[in-house]
Each structure stands twice: as structure tokens, then as C-alpha cells.
Chains A and B, each alone.
Chain A
């Protein structure tokens, strides 16, 4: 790993600053677009009223001071704040304020920009169903490929369709935890596919709707990634990129998914030239050159159009 210290420090600084901003993705579950708008309008109206009242008060005080000069007392600003500000060096003060603004606003901007281009390590949005990988893969040791069944065939590992869930959840209702009632999370599957958990049968003519999961791993469109290439040809374990998924109650993005992360791995890892006939020639050349190992990078794995097209 060649990550510089400054890089880590910067990332830490910006990440800590950006946690100041409320998590926008969680927000969506509380506010809809329109309530958010209504709240903004309401606060603007309230601010306007406050400003109006303040103005009236100021005006009345001024009138009073005019009539009874003896009553007039110096305002808080006049007596306390103005002397302090007057004491400041104007240049330094302006620069300081501008600096603070730059750092604060800039960090918001940085966070936004990074999310916009998909840099979001640790991203763990709330999902429509509180599905726990810890229970399914950790506790019950269900193979990843049982649900993510296309991982060996396609570029996408694919999220299982509801009928895959129903293979087990037709019977598994976790009702022992809920006084004989179907677990509310499993009930969400039933509601989507139209299954009557009590009578253990599908409901006729039910209007099914899919579960809208929130996508966690967002590669930009200009980067091509293929799961089958890495799992079948590269023989990687899911955990090598996705982390200790069997321990996650709520899935988060384990890796950075940034290009340097891809490249580091391509530099370190070798290709399995011995056991794949496609690499027969590569293997022969390798032995001829007296090498025992050839990295993905050496085999052209760093060339732009291997991933960008």
C-alpha cells in the first residue's frame, strides 16, 4: 500500500467534518421531498416575522431614546461587541472568517462531490427490509451463491428475486420470537409477493411489487466490473472485497472502490495461468522466462480499456 500519510490525514479530516452534515440518505426515510420544502417555507416565514418584530422593537427604542435621552442605554453591540471587532486587524479577520467558511463549506462540498462520484466507503443506508447477513451467512452458513446466484455467470452478482427468499421463508417465519406471529421483516416479503403466512399459501390475483433495495456499491458508469471474472477466473472470495459480510447485521461498503484500490490488487495478485487453458501460452512464456508468478498487471491488467469502455 502506498497511500501517503497526508492522504490518510486529509481523508480523516474531511470525513470527520462531513459527519457534521446530517446523513442525507437516512433523511429520506423521515422526510419526503414536499414536507422538506414545506418546512423550509415555514422557517422562512418565521424568520421574516422575527425580523419584522425586531425592526419594530428597534424603531420603538429609537423613538423612546429620542423622547427621553436619559433612558437611552448603549446597545449590547455598541458596548460589548463593537470594541472587540474594532480591535481586530481587518485583513487578518477577513482572511480568518473566509478561511473558516472555506473549510466548513468546502468540506460539505467535498463530501457531496465524493458521494456524487461514488466515493462512499462505509456507506450503510437503511434498507427496506432489515435483512441481516449475519444471521443468514454467519449463523446459518448459507452459501453466498445460493442467493447471489449469477455471480459466476454474469457481471452482476444480482440481488435475489423474491422467489429465492420464499424457498425458505415459505416455512421460516421466525414466529417463535414474535409470540407466534410472523416476524415483521419477513412479513414484508409476504406483503410484496402476496403470501398468506398464517394459512401458508399464496394469495390469488395479488398485485405483487418488488422490494426496492438501496444500492450500496456504486461504481461509476465508465468503469466496467465483472463479478464472474473475479470469482471464477480470479478465484477471489467474496469477503476479500466485501469484508466480513458474515458479521454484518447491516451491510456497509467495506472497500473504497476507488481506482487505486483496484490497481493495488491487480499489482499484487497473480493470474492462475497453470490451471486455465486460456493462459496456456502465457504460462509457457512465463516458464521460459524462469518466472513462477505473473501478476494481473503484468498480463495487461492495468491497461485502460480493460475496464473503461
Chain B
């Protein structure tokens, strides 16, 4: 058994045979050397073979020489647009793709092709970053499966728009004449343009019924706010004002409501300033990204959230105390004390979609005076606020035959709602405006192919008074038409271009002038308009006694299934973007798969292993799905992610096809709201099923007992700013002369483990910026993922309360570990030994794990181990501190990868951009449009790794030289740092004494990973500080 404090996965902790043997080697499969050097004639190469191959080679080259050299064309514009300079990117302020409610971004456009999203710094309210899915969704623009034009059912080629419109209008008029209604299904639209178009359409067809639909429901909040304050809204949450945050199952950093904004706000208060930082309690069932970042995380059952809310409410003095409820006793008390001390500067949120739970949350926040400071109901959130009752009444009426036609505006209910298909079948005319043949379009009679958001004009209002303006950044790739334009065309408007300006532009402009007013061009350029009102505190007039009564009377459940969203996939709308699936899940580190996440006690009890296939049965059906054991998950709870099981067009042959299982049909709609916590679930091992192998990156490299992660408690940090860093360091002896960086630039990076939440947006941003190929599930299984930047996730155990234990760790020697300290499994087991004889509780300690995230990329070591072993000098050191990788010199010995202590070098096993096996965007002409032209597309057989975005460094320097000026302080940054929503990564010039990085390098918390081996990395980490009372007492010498 290992005596490490930290472990990356259950395999490592238990040191399974497979794990040990596979981690002994750098590469998962060795070379067949024995076979080659054996005396077996069948496999040995002999003289004759040599001559054969030599002759064949010569002949092949000669034949190839008779071929003509491919002629390379240089095709200029016919008329060059004034502002386009070939080779120089343009940035347009526009709206993000994956956020249907509207999110401001800058779109980087090269020669008319959008190639990357960057944060729009003008829109500070929305946070200074992006998320992984948002980045990946740019690929949906270059999806080869996009529809080429207006399509009719059972026809394989597009119809002319004029003919198509005529047919649709006849069908709609027929419906009107027959006295039936037209259903217009839209998302809880925040788009002013869409809403205006719907109004215009409804004016023409008065029999239109607008149905709002969102795949994920937040009706618990909207209904609770309606009851509490008289307005059915989701408020705006301001985490930056909260010193104490208590979350009951709300994954606000990962998937809940508006995570990018929450990330930035939350992150701004997580770095200790003057000995202060926010304190975060998380009570949850599954191990979410938010839970992984909490200071104090308590595993509870999701069905028990109400009980905990009552307990907290009582502790806060909202109602008389009551005994005998199952709550996380002491921690609730502690949380209540902290909340009381931070009245008006704290926040309680809850992920339950139950109205009563949310009313209680409102009552708690009212008690704590949070309205007006951390909760804003005036400039509230307008997105995702569709109530499922709207769609439910539609399905009921549809079954009775009330509708003659249905128009789905950019929504896909057939996929995400079980009742939709049957309802649609009863409607004779079904019109969809999707851009791909999604589940709804496949059953439509007419597909009025829409435009991709990057081809469209739009004005959205995600928060009341905050407008996001979107402009097209590319001409329509195919013959689609904006959905609003289609609606208006059917309403009889003239939608032809006017003076070369599209109807959509003119319409959007008129909406802007009528609703917002002002200079349209200036607004478009900035991309965001803020016109908010001063915050009012709403009056709360609900008696909570009745609610407490109802919640208390809820039945307890033994097992429950929680349907959750994954950070990279979310509701599944953009589930067909390969980058999002290749991004490892921030907590489980699984790529390309959906799984049943199971707690360790449950797995041990039932003798389930990772990859065992289970049959999960609920009242609405059953699915077969592999098991993944998730440390930290509460006993008795099971989780399956929504957003998988998309039915993609037949042409899709890659790993996106048949990806995971769709569990939307399991959502419980019986009690009038969408309930994502399902009771009455049974699990049964599928007999004879093969063990399923996940493409999982967490255990690809071993920590080998090294001191890689450092952390300390806030108390300890206050006493000693170097807390957590008192490790014995050998005296550095160097074989090499130090590099002299005193002249010019010296690039370096600092990563704050405190603000890094592990959200993985940087991984996707890096991949897009640097043309990192997508390899697919099978290659990830072989440990061949190509990400230049990975985020290591470490688990550690916490000593149970009120125990002090002695622990020996890596550098030897015994030490005392205080309660609340992180420790080895043996010691935890020892501590729990009173219980370990009881089978039911033997593995319960697995529910109490702490998580630490650590982004890891090339450390650009001054004494780089990779540089000394390269036989061809393909990797060398620059005078600016970069570890340079020269692909054209590399001959692929892989020595460097073997010798890298940080395991950050990636080998190109294939020519991914030309190999049909890797049928993602890289290998087709349309998908290739997203490639960054400033970065080489690597060929097979070469090593690659993080370059510190050297293309950005060079470009910034060149601009300064051309402008005859010095390079500005922090004038540019690298892709990962730029995209980080919590600003955890900082990059800059150490020789510029005013730069952010120079300041961070002097921070007491800073350390280098494995500095004891003398590599002298250029990437510095800042110790993770947890806001806990207990002292940490690591002193090893």
C-alpha cells in the first residue's frame, strides 16, 4: 500500500496489478523488440528482404518522380474587402454559440474564417473567460453534416426557398382555415429579434400558440420566486460579494445556470488577500466540479436537501429547533455560524428543482439580508427560464389533435423530452429551423434550414438590461436562412436583400432602434450594452411553516438516481462537437463516455468494478451502462449524465456515433415539474457483458509519491505565509551553467491553485489555438491523447473529526497530523477502525475525499531533461526562456518524452489530419477551416508539447517592432491564460518589473513542481489554501 497523501484514482490508491505494470512504462505498448531480435526466421529480416525492400523503395521513388509535382495555387480576392489583410486576424464582438441565452465573445477571424473564440473584455459582468464547450462549439460551424438548404421530408436534395416558402404558407393557411392552432416552440428566448419576429408572426396568424421549451428546467427557482416575490424569474447571483457560500447540490461552477460568470465572480474572492478569502460549503451527492473546489464538502443524499435546508433555517433562527432529522449535524451548525457572521455578504444556493426547497432557500437568504447584495432580482437572469408546464400542456393538447402545424425554432424537444415524439406525430405539418438533421428535424415535414449563430445577426438580453449584440463573422456556408427571416417570410413580409443588406440585418437594426436606441454600429462594435436599474430588495411574504411541514413529510429513499449535466456536454445541444468530448471530465477524467457513477461503499457492497455493465431500471424504462466508481460520492446515490445518446446522421462514423445513453426519458415529470432525482431505481449486473474500458486520462501518469500538490489551511497561512511548503529540499547542484536571461525577455507562467477550479476551458482553448488533433476514445485508452495542457486531479483523504494521527510521508519520518488533515488511506482506515468491522460502513470514508486540481503543461525548464537526451537537437533552449520544439528536426525517438519528469510531451502516432480513421474536423476540407494558420500542423512521427504559444509571443513582439515602440506590459497573453474564467493562469515577461508575473513570482505561496530534481521550471504554482480552521502542521526536515 502506498503511503502517499495524494492519489489520482482508485487504481493508484489500491495499487492494482494492472496499474503498476502499465505505469512502469512511458508508453502503454512497448516495441516488439524481442520478436525482431529473435532467431525465428519468419520474423527476422535477412539479406534478400533487405534487397527486396531496397529495390522496391528505389522503384517507388522513381515512379513517384514521374508524377507531377502538385501545383500550388495562389488565388487572390477579386475585390479585396477594405479591412481584410491576408495574414492578419480580425476580431469581431459577437455572441457565443453554445450559450442559447447569449454570452459575449470576441471571434478571431482569419481571411473570412472564424477560427477561435476569445473573451470580450468589454463585457466584464459576464466574466473574463470562456468554458470548454463554448470553445468547442465553433466546430458546429464547420460540421460536414450541416444541411445545405431548405429540405422537405424524404427528399435528399435542397428545395428552392421560393417554392419551399410557398408550400409552407399554403400549409399554414390551411391550418388556419381548418380552425386548428399553430404551435411555435422556442426556447425561453432572450433574443429581442426572435421575440419581435414571433410577435409579427402571431399578428399574421392569430391562431399561433407560443410554447417555450428548455431541455433543462429551472422551474423550481422561477416558481419559488413567483410564490415568494410575485415574479417568476431566476435572479442574478453575485458570488463576488459573498464571503460565505453555502451550496446544496448546485454545481454553479460547472453547469448550474450561468457558470462562466459564476466562475469569474467566485474566483475573484478565492485568493487570500490580507488573510481573507471566501469560505465555501458544499452539500451534495455526486462529486461535482463545484464540490471539488469547496472548502468543506459534505456528502448528502439529494433527496435529503430539504431536510438540510430546514436544519440550516432553524439554526439561523428561522423556526424553532427540531430534533431527529438526518442532517450533517455539526457542519450545518458551523455553516450557520459563518453565515450569521457574514450577514448581507453571503449566499445560499440550491440545485434542487423543487419549488418548496427553493422557497426555503429564499427564506434563508432573506434572513441573511442577501437580497440586494449577492442576489439581484431587479437585473435578473432571463435565460433558461422556460417552465416545463408550457411544453407539457402542448403535448397534452397535441394528443387531442388541437394543432395543425408546429414550428420548432432552434429547439430539439424530440431528443430531450420523452413526450415530444408522440405529440409531434399527431401534428400533420412539422417545420424545423435546425441547421443539422437533428432528432426533431428528422421527423419534420419541412426543414427551413437556419443559420449558424456565427452567420447571424442577433440581439440577446441574458440579464435584464444587459444586451449582447451578435454579428455574422462569416458568410453563410450553406444555403440556410435565419429562422426569424423564415418566420417573417411566412408571415408575408418581403425578406429580399435591400441595397445588398440582408433582411436579417435590416430587421435587427430596426429592433435595436425601437427597443434600445442609439448608435447601432457603435453597439455592434462593442458587442455589449449595459442599461441596468438600481437594485431593489423584494418583499418576502410566505409563511414557511407549511413548507417545512411538507418537506419533513417526504419519504426517505434507499437508493436514488441523479440525472446531472457534465461540464463538457451540458444539455447535449452541442453534444456533437468532438472537442467537447475529448476534453476529460474535470472530476472523473473520463473522455468520450457516459457512465453510471457509483460511490465506493456501494461498489464494494455489490462487488462492482469500473467498467462492469449494469442494467439500470426506473419506472420509465431501463438502459445498460458501464459503472465508474467515483470517490466522494454519497452512499446510496447514483449518477448518469444527461446530454448523451444523440441520434446523429448516418454519415457520422466516428466516436460521436452512438455515444452514451440518452437518459432524458428518465426525468421524472409526474409531480408537475421536472425532477432530476429519481427514486425507485434498481441495478442489475448484465450477465456475460464484457468489461467496458473507458478512455480515462486520470491514471495515465503516476504521481510516484512526489510532492507535487501543496496546500495549507487559511489559519496556517495567516500564521506562516510559507505554510504547506516546508519540505526538505536538497541543495541544488547543477551540471550546467545557468542561462543568462538578464537581457531581452524572459517568459514565465504562474498558476494559482487556489483560483484554478479545474473547469478545463484552458484545455480546449489550447487545443484550438495550437491545432491539437482529436484522437478519439480508442487512442485515449492507449494513453495517446494529444492535449498539450492537462489538468491533474488529485484526491486525498481527510482525517475524521476529533482525531490526531501520526502519518509518515514521502520524505520519511513520522509527523503529527491534525484533525482535518489529509492523509494516507491506511491511516484513515485505522481511524475508522471502530467501524471497519461493520460491513455496511467499512468503506464510508471514501465519501470524504478532498480534491485538488493542477494544470500541467510543459514547464519550460531551464535545465530541461528533454533537451539533453535529444540525439538530433530537435528540442533546444531559447534566450527568452522557452523550451523550443522543432518539429522538422524531430526524428521521433521519444527519448524526450521518456525523460520528461512532468510527462507533458505528446507523440504523433498518426498523421491525424490525413487519416480517415480520425474522421473529425481535422481530416475534412470543411473542418480544416478552423485550423490556426500560424501554427504548424504536425506530421506523424514527431513529438510536440506546449510552446508557451510562441506564435503569440512572436506576433506581439513583431507588432511592437513595427510600431517602433517597446513591448507593452502584459500586452498579450497565451491561449490558456486568456480563456481562464477565474484568472488562475498568468503569463508574462519576468524582465518587465511591472508585469503581473513579476509580482506573482515574489508571492510567498509560490513553488515549482518537483523542484528538488533541479529542473528549474519557468512555470510556478501557488499553494492551494483551504479556508478551514484546523492548522496544518507539516514540518519535515
Contact = CB atoms under 8 A, between A and B. Distances in A.
A309 B76 contact: no
B179 interface: no
B477 interface: no
A228 B958 contact: yes
Given A21-B65, A105-B62, A306-B954, A162 B76 contact: yes
A58 B884 CA distance: 69
Nearest to A150: B85
6 contacts: A109-B62, A125-B71, A162-B78, A208-B78, A215-B74, A277-B964
B319 interface: no
A278 B879 contact: no
A66 to B, nearest CB: 40
A109 B58 CA distance: 8
B321 interface: no
Interface string A264-302: 000000000001111111100100000000000000100
Contacts of A213: 73-76
Contacts of A105: 58-59, 61-62, 65
Nearest to A115: B69
Given A212-B73, A303-B884, A309 B950 contact: yes
A113 B966 CA distance: 44
B75 A210 contact: yes
A24 to B, nearest CB: 4
B68 A214 contact: no
B88 interface: yes
Contact of B61 (A27, A113, A303, A305): A113
Nearest to A31: B68
B71 A25 contact: yes
B935 interface: yes
Nearest to B877: A303
Interface string A6-46: 00000000000000010011011000000000000000000
B66 interface: yes
B28 interface: no
B68 A24 contact: yes
B965 interface: yes
Contacts of B38: none
Interface in B498-540: none
A75 B811 CA distance: 92
A28 B67 CA distance: 11
Nearest to B952: A309
Contact of A220 (B68, B888, B951): B888
Contacts of A178: none
Nearest to B81: A161
A27 B66 CA distance: 12
Nearest to A160: B76
B71 A229 contact: no
Residue in A215, A221, A278, A304 whose Cβ sees the most chain B Cβ within 10 Å:
A304
A218 B966 contact: no
Nearest to A105: B62
Contacts of B71: 25, 28, 125, 214
A116 interface: yes
A268 B965 CA distance: 25
Given A25-B68, A309-B936, A303 B879 contact: yes
A154 B878 CA distance: 25
B910 interface: no
Contacts of A276: 961, 964
A276 B936 CA distance: 30
Interface string A98-122: 0000100110110111011000000
A211 B75 contact: yes
Interface string A116-153: 10000000010000000000000000000000001011
B594 to A, nearest CB: 37
A96 interface: no
A108 B62 contact: yes
B996 to A, nearest CB: 20
Interface in A209-231: 209-215, 218, 220-224, 226, 228-229
B87 A214 contact: no
A46 to B, nearest CB: 19
Contacts of A111: 65
A159 interface: yes
Interface in A199-250: 208-215, 218, 220-224, 226, 228-229, 232-233
Contacts of B936: 221-222, 308-309
B876 A277 contact: no
Interface residues of A, number: 66
Interface of A: 21, 24-25, 27-28, 102, 105-106, 108-109, 111-113, 115-116, 125, 150, 152-156, 158-164, 192-193, 208-215, 218, 220-224, 226, 228-229, 232-233, 275-282, 285, 300, 303-306, 308-309
Given A25-B71, A112-B61, A112-B65, A154 B76 contact: no
B649 interface: no
Given A222-B887, A300-B878, A210 B69 contact: no
Contacts of B75: 210-213
A111 B65 CA distance: 8
B90 to A, nearest CB: 12
Given A150-B86, A208-B78, 11 more contacts: A105-B62, A109-B62, A150-B88, A154-B87, A158-B86, A210-B78, A228-B958, A232-B962, A233-B961, A278-B960, A304-B886
B887 A308 contact: yes
B937 interface: yes
B725 to A, nearest CB: 33
A300 B965 CA distance: 19
A293 to B, nearest CB: 16
Nearest to A165: B76
A308 B947 CA distance: 11
A28 B876 CA distance: 43
B888 A226 contact: no
B497 to A, nearest CB: 14
B882 interface: yes
Sort A-B residue pairs by CB-CB distance and give the 10 closest, nearest first. Answer: A154-B87, A112-B65, A24-B68, A305-B884, A109-B61, A161-B77, A108-B65, A161-B80, A215-B72, A304-B886
Contacts of B743: 281-282, 285
Contact of A24 (B58, B61, B69, B744): B69
Contacts of B884: 303-305, 308
A63 B91 CA distance: 86
Residue in B65, B77, B885 whose Cβ sees the most chain A Cβ within 10 Å:
B65
A309 B875 CA distance: 12
A36 to B, nearest CB: 9
Contacts of B879: 300, 303
Interface in B79-133: 79-80, 85-88
A106 B79 CA distance: 46
Contact of B876 (A160, A223, A304): A304
Interface in B864-905: 876, 878-880, 882, 884-889
A105 B66 CA distance: 10
A281 B989 CA distance: 15
Nearest to A155: B87
A110 to B, nearest CB: 8
Contacts of B966: 277-278, 280
Interface in B954-992: 954, 957-958, 960-962, 964-967
Contacts of B78: 161-163, 192-193, 208-210
